[in-house]
Amino acid sequence: MSDASLTRRGFIAATGAVVAGSLIGCGSNNGGTTDNVITGPQTAYMLSGRGRRVSNAALYHNNNKVFVSAAAADGGRAHPGDTSKVVPIDLSTKQWTAYFGNGATQVDLRHL
């Protein structure tokens, strides 16, 4: 493994920093209207093998997939023996719309 590779801990830290940075300035200032406009962070789901013994296939799969719901994440495992747990993550409304606005239930971050 080279020194330039991204570890799981580094990926989680970087993802957290990006999500936290994207939430700054996301107030719900919609001018006092009562539209059904969704503002603020949206919940998406990922699979995590942290603290568990999971296969290399599950590790790569978990690092690169984001799901619209917990049920979609549970059904989108790397293989039948994958013991990864489903964890919620917060995405900005803009990012959530970019991922799932076209009706997708899962997004592979390697292909964006």
Residue 1 maps to a domain? no
Has residue 68 been placed in a domain? yes
What was the pLDDT predicted at 3? 55
Residue 99's domain spans which residues?
40-112
Q: Is residue 77 part of a domain?
A: yes
Give me the pLDDT at residue 34, please. 47
48 within a domain of the structure (yes/no):
yes
Q: Give me the pLDDT at residue 92, please.
A: 92
Segments of the chain scoring below 50 in pLDDT:
1, 28, 32-34
100, part of any domain: yes
CA distances from 33 to 28, 36, 81, 97 (A): 11, 9, 49, 21
Residue 40: the pLDDT is: 76
In this prediction, residue 8 carries a pLDDT of 75
Please report the beta strands in 53-101, taking only residues with DSSP state E, as ranges in sequence order: 65-67, 85-91
Look at the chain and report how many structural domains it folds into. Answer: 1
